[in-house]
Every structure is written in structure tokens, then in C-alpha cells.
Structure 1
Amino acid sequence: MESLEEMQSRHRKEQKDLQSRVTQKKKNTSKKTRKGVNTECEELERQLKERQAQELSALNGESLEPPELEADESANEESADTAQGNDVNGVADSLASNSIFEPAESENGDGKAGGGKKRNRAKERLARRAAETAAAVEEAKVEAQNQPDIKALERKKISSQFESHGLVEQMIRPDGHCLFNAVADQLQMAGIPLADDGGEVERYKTVRVRAAKYMEEHVDEFDGFLEEPLHVHVRNIRDTAEWGGHLELLALSRVYGVDICVLQDGPMQTIEPGEGYEKKGKEGKEKEKIWLAYYRHGFGLGEHYNSLRKVSSKVAP
């Protein structure tokens, strides 16, 4: 039979393994699956804590015997767990205001005090559970502090690529329009008009409209990659703060005839417009390249794009 020390050691390993799984799941999530992954992780943590508490209780070999309803011990255990086990804060308050044992001058072999009252085993068991939970929480905090700083590591890897390409970062506000604002900044730096009609509107809106229009007119190129109907996606890209991604960059690459180079935590990604979309610059120059930095973890709202300008270019404050 497993000893208490062996069980506690196994529990610590299970908690560590679960923390690693949770970290990996959250690292690989996207904006569309983030909510479901967080819910799944919370449920896994809850199930582990509940199972470990049950194993410790079984190892101790104690059953609940509340003094109020001695004739039905199983009903008493369920009632005690429901009334006090669902709220850790309530347990802490209860422990602060009550003693674990009922007051008595002596206790005989059957657990009854000298005055005829039984020990409140439910309260003792809840106290142990609360202590075990608090210890597990503290251990998880220590382990979390020892985890690598994902944001710092990502920024370090991306920043190291700037120098090799002669680039400096132009910060873009993280407001849901970052991809379109970053592309607009790059196009303007390259001297490429955002719209053919020269209309004066906010630049990210112009780029959104151009991307949405292209996708709407080329259904076969995009429809198979979407989880929602194309017309719904197009409307969201055109009229809301819906985040843009690879499909929108592909559409913009073809609309403006540019290569879009994306520096990220990993190999650089280059999105090319393809045959039939290549444009020549003045005096026969090859099509322009525009540069973006893509962060998966570095910003509070999630995925984010910044504009990357040549070092010789003046960077706005």
C-alpha cells in the first residue's frame, strides 16, 4: 500500500505534469480557441485537486460522522462536503472562528468527549483539505516563478533579427487594427498609395476595405480556409475591429503587389503575391518589400503586428 510520503510525492509530480500540459496548451492556442482551452485547463486542475484530496482522505481511513445526524453517515458526508467543500474562503473563515475539536475535558475510546459530544470529524477533514490545498497553491506559485518568461524570450529572438536586416521597430497601437495599421505604415514609407481614389479616411480603414474587397471578389482563394462563411468574414474585416491574419496579408500582398516579410519567433515568413500580381516600380525596379514584426505572446491582447522601418528612415515618436 502506498505510504503518505509516496502519495504526496506522486501528487507533486502530477501537479507539475499538469502545469506543463496547461502551459503547452495555452502556448499553442489561438484567439478563436483561447476561451475553450482556458475552460479545459481549469477543469483539469479542478479534477486533479479533487482526486488528490479523495486519495488523501482514503489513505487516512476516516469517515465523516457529524453529530447532528448519526443515523445516516453517508448523507452527512455529502451535506458537509456540499456546504463547506465548495468554498475555500468559507473554510478559512470557519477555521478562524472555530476550534477543530468540540470542547471537552476528556475523551474515551469511541471518540466521545466527557460531556457526551463526538469529535467533529467533518471539520477536521475539511481543515486537512484546506491545508493541503493551500500547500498545493504555494507550490504552484513557486513553480510558476521558475517558468521561463515567454514574452521576454520571444521579444529577444525577434529583436535579434532586426539588426541583420537593418530594421528598427515602429510601435503600432494594439487595438485590433494593428495588422492593417502596420501595413499602411509600410506602404506609405514605400510611397505606395493606399487607395486609387486618394480618399482621405483613416489609413487602417482604407487597408481593411481593400483586403475585404479582394477576398470578396476571389471566393475560391479563401473560402476553404475559413471556419465561418466568407461573406460574414468579409463583413467583419471591413466593418469591425476583427483581427487580421495570414489570409488578410495574402490579400493585401496581391492588392498592392508587394512581398510582405514577417519577422517572428522562428524563421522569417515571406508572403508573395504570386504570378500575375507582381508590379514593377519606377525605372523597372522589382516590386517592393514591406516588413512586419509578429508577436504571439508579447502583448496583453494577444497576437500583435508592428511595422519595421529601415534604420535610415525617420521613425515617428
Structure 2
Amino acid sequence: MMNGGNQSQCSSSTSFSSSSQQDTDMEDDRMIALILTEEYANLDGAVARRLSDLAPVPHIPRINSFIPNLSDASLDHQRLIQRLNLYGLREVKVSGDGNCQFRALSDQMYKSPEYHKHVRKEIVKQLKDSRSLYEGYVPMKYKRYYKRMAKSGEWGDHVTLQAAADKFAAKICLLTSFRDTCFIEIMPQYRAPRCELWLSFWSEVHYNSLYEIQVAPIQPKPRKKHWLF
């Protein structure tokens, strides 16, 4: 479901070895479980209706290959702002600390970016458990790739987005800053989506969580700088 009721419930589990860490993480899991026990709501499609005139571009999983220079990124940012304004959308901005994709997904699913470690762990588990689905898109030793992705601060890419769609049975929609690609849609490969997650995607390297402007949560001033802000 989408914003204002778009925080979808997607099942997962965690376990930890350290007893002190375990207590903290068990409490996190209990909080997540409260969300997960709610019944799935129908997709209300609020943001989707606003973007109904856009034809989504088919998604091709790939790893990050380049970082735009400051000039190109600034132009892209202005383009993204114009698109957000045009469609009446607002970003909930997450920290540009290398975890932004996972933070944005966490915000869409759990109404908070702070479960990004949990989200990353589940995506990496999907990569490990379903190697045949993703290995062909990774131009390096696959084990090296998913071990790298397990590290906090490692940028998520289009392969991890596909793994997230598959793991959480989510339709992931990206409103982008690209000149020729406004809207990218990532569908789960082998089952129907039961939730929609909406992200903004800036210059190939930064993600934020996306809401209709009327229902976007009030966001405190971030303590960490966003990428290139």
C-alpha cells in the first residue's frame, strides 16, 4: 500500500549471538513484529494515481558503475525537485552514509529509516539463498559481492533493489532524476506484489523515501549531511 497507508508489512526474522546486542535487537524485532501482525491493507495507489501518465521503464538489475560529477548531480537534483513539485510529492530524506537505499526502504516499510540494518540483513540473505536469480548481473565473484553488501555503509544498487522486491514481495517504484528515465518499476520475479514501496532516486547514488505531500511525515532537521547537500 502507498503513503498515508503505504507502510507495508513484509515478513522476516533475525537472530544475534551477543547477549547485550541480542536484548536490543530482540526489542527491535518485537517492535517490527507489532507492525507485521497488522493485516495487509489494499494498495491505495495514491502516489501511483499521481504518476498515472508515466510509462515505467523496465528494470535491469546492475551494480553501481559510476558516480556523477558535482555539476551533473546538481542538474539532476534540480530535475528531481521539479518532478516532485509537478506531481505533488515530497521526500523524507535519509542520511547519505552509504545506507540510504536500505534506510529509504526501512522508512517505507516501518515508518522509520532506523531499521536499515535489519532490511540490509534480509536483502543479503535473499542474495545468498537465491544466488541463481542474481549472479548473472554481478560482474565479480558472487560471494565477494554479497559479503560486501553485508557491510554497513556499502551502497545498495539495482541488484539489491531486485532482491528487496523479491524478498518482501514488494513493487518498488523509483521516481528518478534522469533526463530520459523518469519512472522505474521493480517487480518481484515469482509472486504477485503485496505492497508498494516508493523511493526517489537521485543521480544513481542517493535514495529517499517518497510520499504524497499532504501525508508526508514532518521530518526533523537531519544530523548528518545528505549526499552532495
Shorter-normalised TM-score: what interval?
Answer: 0.5 to 0.7
Between the two structures, name the one with larger relative contact order (CA 8 Å, sep ≥ 6).
2
* 1:308 lines up with 2:210 in the alignment: yes
How many Å apart are 1:150 and its aligned residue? 2.7
How many Å apart are 1:31 and its aligned residue? 5.6
* 1:204 lines up with 2:110 in the alignment: no
Would you say the 8 A contact 1:162–1:168 is kept in 2? yes
Partner of 1:292: 199
Q: 1:313 to 1:273 in 2, by over 3 A?
A: same
How many Å apart are 1:263 and its aligned residue? 1.1
* 1:153 lines up with 2:55 in the alignment: no
Would you say the 8 A contact 2:92–2:216 is kept in 1? no
**Poorly superposed stretches of 4+, deviation over 3 Å:** 30-34, 163-166
More helix as a share of residues: 1
Partner Cα distance (1:289, 1:163) in 2: 21
Instruction: Give SS of 1:243's match.
Output: coil
Partner of 2:84: 162
Give per-residue Cα distances to partners, 1:297-316, cap 9 Å, x unaligned: 7xxxxx11111122213232
Identity percentage of aligned residues: 24
Partner of 1:118: none
Q: 2:131 aligns with which of 219, 228, 231?
A: 219
TM-score by length of 2: 0.59
Q: How does 1:157-196 map to 2 (within 5 A)?
A: 157-189=79-111
Partner Cα distance (1:33, 1:295) in 2: 13
Partner Cα distance (2:168, 2:66) in 1: 31
How many Å apart are 1:33 and its aligned residue? 5.7
Give per-residue Cα distances to partners, 1:140-165, cap 9 Å, x unaligned: xxxxxxxx943332122212222444
Q: 1:32 to 1:151 in 2, by over 3 A?
A: closer
Partner of 1:109: none
Give per-residue Cα distances to partners, 1:208-241, cap 9 Å, x unaligned: 1111000111111111111222211111111342
Give per-residue Cα distances to partners, 1:76-95, cap 9 Å, x unaligned: xxxxxxxxxxxxxxxxxxxx
Partner Cα distance (1:170, 1:259) in 2: 19
For these two proteins, the number of residue pairs brought into alignment is: 154
Partner Cα distance (1:304, 1:241) in 2: 12
Partner of 1:271: 186
Partner Cα distance (2:200, 2:193) in 1: 23
> Which amino acid in structure 1 is aligned with residue 95 of structure 2?
R
Calculate the aligned-residue CA RMSD, in Å.
2.8
Partner of 1:123: none
